[in-house]
Structure 1
Amino acid sequence: MNGIRFSGLASGMDTDSIVKQLMQVERLPLDRFKQEKKILEWQRDDYRTLNKEMEQFRTYLFDKMLKKNTFVPKNVESSNSTIVSATANSNAPDMTSSIQVTKLATSSRWASEGAVKTDWREGINFVDGKATFAFKTTNANGVESETINITINETDTVDDVLNKINNSSLGITAMKGNFLRDDDTMQETIVFTNKSSGSGNYEIAVQDANTNTFMSNLGFQTDASNYLTGFQDGEDAELTINGMYTKQKSNTFTISGVTYTLKDVGNVTISTKTDVDLAIENIKEFVDKYNDLLDKVNGKLNETKYRDYRPLTDEQKEAMSDREIELWEERAKSGHLRRDPILSSGFSSIRTALYTKVQPGDKGINSDFDILSEIGITTTKNYLDGGKLEIDETKLRKALETEPNAVYELFAKTTDSDLSSKSSKDLTSAERQEKFNESGLVVRMRDILYDTINRIEEKAGNQYSELENYTIGKNIDDINDSIDDFERRLQQIESRYWSQFTAMEKAIQKANEQSGWLMQQFSSM
């Protein structure tokens, strides 16, 4: 504020205090603006907190509750896991297999035939300290690769070179050491081992003279067609399963949903059985997570709103203790999502979806297990629980023991359209409802959560949203503008008050001077 302020020098009034009190009254609308802004921020943060919870639950549904292994997990036991270990997917039958392993699969390899040169760089053409060597491979089926380039620095050691070969797409593992040769002598040798095992010719061909020199310096030879020599073919694994002989290229292979890993020769028994206990635990986890989310949502929907507890102003906080502020704000923050229509609608739809039968559609469904109650999952009888689920474990166990695949379909049955995908927006309302009715319960939940999360983001945004991109943000932006305008107005009002009091002080000062002059004149008469 420009000009000199006369703060009660003539009048004896506490002008500062008077102006401050006057401005407190003038600031009341500004305080209300700031309180409204704070309420919107609290509401936005409540929305975002719940949205994060819903997104985490939706991710959990996708990662676990849409997987068949969750409902039909397999337990595999080996009588001797040092010979054969195994895992099974949900499609594996419950069975016991006797296995006799007579030979393990081995990989083809190449061994350097000569000594590794002391200076592997000899005769190699380096450009700016680098050289690039070109190879091609041909697999056991005769398929030739594209050119594979490996770039080496002139300062590299042999170990550096082998490391770069290992990390290339050449498909081999390279190592160097003293190995026993055919003449019964120990000699430093570089060995290339095919990363894939099994019989069949796997060839490596050099593509130019510089690469040929490089390989020669490492002790390898090439034939007239530029293929590396010193090759030894790999062998297939050989075994019998329940009396049936088979050969496998790898020591790890899958038959009828069971993945076997051969480790040694010998006899072993592998047993595969559906793990009903684990399936029950998985479904219990789902129910617990759903109930926990429901608790949080219902907590906000039913939270008491204390209308007399507005956000505190800075001046109010100055007059209160930290504990008083904490208790006040606890109530002031309460109830901003009470009976919120987006959350109420979303979770009402989820409850309806969970209690509605899954329609057969084109893919069909077991009519004995087309609704949640048929596998022992129902809502609690206490209406105060707000739709929480509870499990009759005896009924659930019986369903999983008799028809585990039907239980899986009840939760995870899909249609030709993913209801949460962009392509589903091309469906008509009737088509979408039909697909929804034919979808499993978890698919329905994901669809509703997807819609609810998006609606909340439209209203409350997310941590990366600009104010102008969501409804509450636009309201906050408008209030920010109002605050800026009102603060400018307050400055003008305060300046006016000071101008008025200054004028008053000047007038009183002048009157005092005139009174003093008159008194002086009277006293001199």
Structure 2
Amino acid sequence: MVSRIGGLASGMDIDSIVEKLMKAERMPLNKAFQRKQTLEWQRDAYRNVNVATQKFKTFLNEKMWLQNQLMKKTATSTNENLVSVKATNSATGSLNIESVAQLASATQMIGEQKGHTGTTKLSALVGDSVKSIELRSIDKNGNLAEKATTISFDPTKDTINDLVKKINESKAGVTALFENGQLSLTANNTGSVKSGSGEIVFGQGKELFDALGMDNADIKAGKNAILKVNGISLERSSNNFTISGYEVSLKSTFNAKAGAADRLAAAQKELNNAQAAQPGLEADRNNKRLAYETYRDNTYKSEYDRIFGTNNLTVAQQEKFDKLSNVGKVALLNSSDLTELQSMSIDYTDAESIKTSINNSSLTDEQKANLLRLSADDLKSLQSSDGAALLERAQQVDFENSYKTLDKTFLNKLTTDDLAFLSEIKGKNSSEIDQILAGKDDAIKNKFGKMDRVDLGRLSDLSDSLADFQQFSSIEKTNNENLNAFNTAENAVQAGIKRIAEAQKSYDNANAAVGSTAGDTSPTVASVSLASTADTKSIKESIKEFVKNYNEMLDTLNGLLKEKKYRDYPPLTKEQREDMSENEQKLWDEKAKSGLLRSDSLIRDGLTKMRSQFVSSVKGLGDATMDSLAEIGITTSKILSDGGKLVINDDKLDAALEKDPDQVVQLFTNTGSVTTTTDDKGRKVTQDSRGITNRLRDEIDELTKSIEKKAGKEGKTEQTYSIGKQIIESDNRITKLQAKLKDIEARYWKQFTAMEQAINKANQQSGMFMQGGGF
């Protein structure tokens, strides 16, 4: 380090001089810092572009991508007093409800009146052993809940009122009421469970309900709504349901007698059909079972035994084998290992004794390692008189596992030449395999050259069996296909049994409805018609919102492209900031950051591609007179300063929506694709059937990728994008310049220090001369 002398001899302000000299020397460093700051601002500006485009893309995804996001429909009923309706976006066609024979109702169980009060402790009913109950009830789809709801309580503390509260607060789907010594349970959902198991089912703790009189309950069974729609008689578990996209609410019965008779006739026919179909399903199931079992016993098993060997273990030996650990089952012990093991005297109560006995044997180190891997139980089993049979079975299992772990697709593609090659390399090391592989044709090299040599060696060990494995794989495939066919047929039989049960329940419900309407003399009323229309006002509002959001994004990007560049306002250095107020720094930074993306080619090209999508038509929509935005009244502004903003011709858009609102929606939401074909003159013709929304999403994705390639995104390292690499280069330059400036400053101080020392020495000599003269 240079010692600094600050101008005592010369009288000069050395510190100030060096500081000014270094200020000039520091200019390249300041420019490097400014360059880095500009790059970082530019990177952030690019990322803000992605923020703006992703905001617009999010709007497209949430509001304009799917047809049901854009298409809103309204529905009308010709008689709201009988049937009311709402339309979902998928409502299609029209519905004609000819009759409602029965409204859906909920099951209600009213227990026998007992002498208990709401404050009676539960322990007084069933003691303190019952601490929970289980309830299952009909769900909103008309099915009995698959899983019971468990309700726990303390019988010594909780009362009947507490139990009622817990039932009502649970998710059991049941409303409980206890008054005047009676318990009432009502299903929260209406309808009749077609399985016939009931709509409220008790599980664990049923004795508690019995003590509350539910064993002699008056049960009012739940009913399904019975109606006839577009000529078809049907049932629904609720009075509120969705059909063909219409949300229907039944309010009253009408034409009930005729409707009940129609339902009974339809239910009778369905029951007959279900019963008639069942023998055929069962015969098919039996044929499939016979085909599977015959092939399995006569072909599959014999081939299995031929390749993998027959398991001749006794029941006792099989039990012993099953107790072997996985390591024991696959231990590849040869006969000499087993002979040595069976001749040993081992104290199995002492782990050290087991280890010592094995280590003192005449086995090789590898064989000892094999034995030491086994547990004491495994060793004891193998050392027994059954050891040989167990070992044979263990080796058989290992061979089976080798087959099971093989890639069957790869196995079945092996040719005769492949098998010959694998046989040739059996037992060879990696270098020997490489040498043999080098002399083979391209087909062998391409198939085996990239395989790990250890895996290739293991495969070659099985070379003698691979042809058998191929044959067995084909047989196994057929066996599995037979089994799958049988399982499918069995499932069809079970589905048929369920169909018969449900048809029987429908018949019973319809028969009850016929009985309840026997004396109905109500006059016939007109059927209720339900129809839907597109809500063109809602579609238009969505399109206006689309135009508004696009124009906002366009304003942001055009603003960056046109932003003025102030070349006289480079980024401030640290020293410059220290000389400015906070407000002055802010104003300077605003000008320094301005114009960083002025006329940027990435953004300009991205906007050009987006604008081009508005001009071209969407193919395959049907009506060619309204398959582009311009044809439905959406065009780019003719005012140059608008920078390509979209404008709407309300009259033209209204006319298009009135003519075909579905096609207007498709113009935006069509999935489609881009295809290129050649016409009869040999020219390439591109057809784009993507809707406007999908086109814009794709262009935004392309622009996003381009920007991320240049400016990265949050969390990415600087080495992964181009501006980041420039920032790294700037950092390296700054580091080098800083080191260089240290050397320069040290040199200046060394020079000035030498000057000071020279002047000081001269002054000392001058003083000596003056003293020697005697003055």
> Smaller-chain TM-score range?
0.7 to 0.9
Match runs of 1:183-262 below 5 Å: 185-187=180-182, 189=183, 191=185, 193-194=187-188, 196-200=189-193, 201=196, 202=198, 212=204, 214-217=205-208, 232-237=220-225, 247-261=235-249
* Counterparts in 2 of 1:290 and 1:164: CA distance versus 1, 3 Å: farther
- The answer as to whether partners of 1:109 and 1:234 remain within 8 angstroms in 2 is yes
- Alignment deviations for residues 185-231 of structure 1 (CA, whole Å, 9 cap, x no partner): 344x474635x43122446667xxxx73x4434667999xxx99886
- Alignment deviations for residues 375-398 of structure 1 (CA, whole Å, 9 cap, x no partner): 111111123322211111111101
Name the counterpart of 1:296.
Answer: 556
Name the counterpart of 2:16.
Answer: 17
Bigger shift: 23-32 or 235-244?
235-244
Secondary structure in 2 matching 1:197: coil
Name the counterpart of 1:495.
Answer: 746
The CA distance in 2 between the partners of 1:63 and 1:410, in whole Å, is: 17
Bigger shift: 111-120 or 433-442?
111-120
Name the counterpart of 2:580.
Answer: 320
Match runs of 1:115-514 below 5 Å: 117-119=121-123, 122-123=128-129, 150=150, 172-179=172-179, 185-187=180-182, 189=183, 191=185, 193-194=187-188, 196-200=189-193, 201=196, 202=198, 212=204, 214-217=205-208, 232-237=220-225, 247-261=235-249, 272-360=532-620, 364-415=621-672, 437-514=688-765
- The answer as to whether partners of 2:10 and 2:756 remain within 8 angstroms in 1 is yes
* Counterparts in 2 of 1:272 and 1:365: CA distance versus 1, 3 Å: closer
Q: How many residue pairs end up in the alignment? A: 485
Secondary structure in 2 matching 1:503: helix
Amino acid at match of 2:192: S
Q: How much has 1:82 moved relative to structure 2?
A: 9.7
- The answer as to whether partners of 1:99 and 1:241 remain within 8 angstroms in 2 is yes
- Alignment deviations for residues 497-516 of structure 1 (CA, whole Å, 9 cap, x no partner): 33333333333333322222
The CA distance in 2 between the partners of 1:299 and 1:145, in whole Å, is: 60
- Alignment deviations for residues 254-290 of structure 1 (CA, whole Å, 9 cap, x no partner): 2343213457889999775433222222211111111
The CA distance in 1 between the partners of 2:692 and 2:669, in whole Å, is: 7
In structure 2, stretches of 5+ residues that fail to align are 255-524, 679-683
* Counterparts in 2 of 1:246 and 1:506: CA distance versus 1, 3 Å: same
The CA distance in 2 between the partners of 1:294 and 1:507, in whole Å, is: 71
Amino acid at match of 1:496: R
- Alignment deviations for residues 291-334 of structure 1 (CA, whole Å, 9 cap, x no partner): 11111111112222222221111222233344433332222111
The CA distance in 1 between the partners of 2:586 and 2:639, in whole Å, is: 34
The CA distance in 2 between the partners of 1:405 and 1:483, in whole Å, is: 62
- The answer as to whether partners of 1:306 and 1:335 remain within 8 angstroms in 2 is yes
Bigger shift: 236-245 or 12-21?
236-245
- Alignment deviations for residues 391-422 of structure 1 (CA, whole Å, 9 cap, x no partner): 1111110110111111112222112x6x8xxx
Name the counterpart of 1:89.
Answer: 88
- The answer as to whether partners of 1:239 and 1:245 remain within 8 angstroms in 2 is yes
Amino acid at match of 2:713: N
Bigger shift: 442-451 or 103-112?
103-112
- Alignment deviations for residues 428-450 of structure 1 (CA, whole Å, 9 cap, x no partner): 999xx988711112211111111
Name the counterpart of 1:67.
Answer: 66
Q: Give the RMSD, CA atoms, in angstroms.
A: 4.4
* Counterparts in 2 of 1:485 and 1:392: CA distance versus 1, 3 Å: same
Secondary structure in 1 matching 2:74: strand
Q: How much has 1:52 moved relative to structure 2?
A: 1.2
The CA distance in 1 between the partners of 2:603 and 2:20, in whole Å, is: 44
* Counterparts in 2 of 1:357 and 1:138: CA distance versus 1, 3 Å: closer
User: Which has the larger share of strand?
Assistant: 1
Rg (Cα) greater in structure: 2
Name the counterpart of 1:182.
Answer: none
The CA distance in 1 between the partners of 2:170 and 2:11, in whole Å, is: 89
Q: How much has 1:496 moved relative to structure 2?
A: 3.4
- The answer as to whether partners of 1:71 and 1:407 remain within 8 angstroms in 2 is no
* Counterparts in 2 of 1:39 and 1:162: CA distance versus 1, 3 Å: farther
In structure 1, stretches of 5+ residues that fail to align are 126-130, 180-184, 420-426
- Alignment deviations for residues 45-79 of structure 1 (CA, whole Å, 9 cap, x no partner): 21111211111211211221133345542235689
- The answer as to whether partners of 2:636 and 2:646 remain within 8 angstroms in 1 is yes
* Counterparts in 2 of 1:500 and 1:107: CA distance versus 1, 3 Å: farther
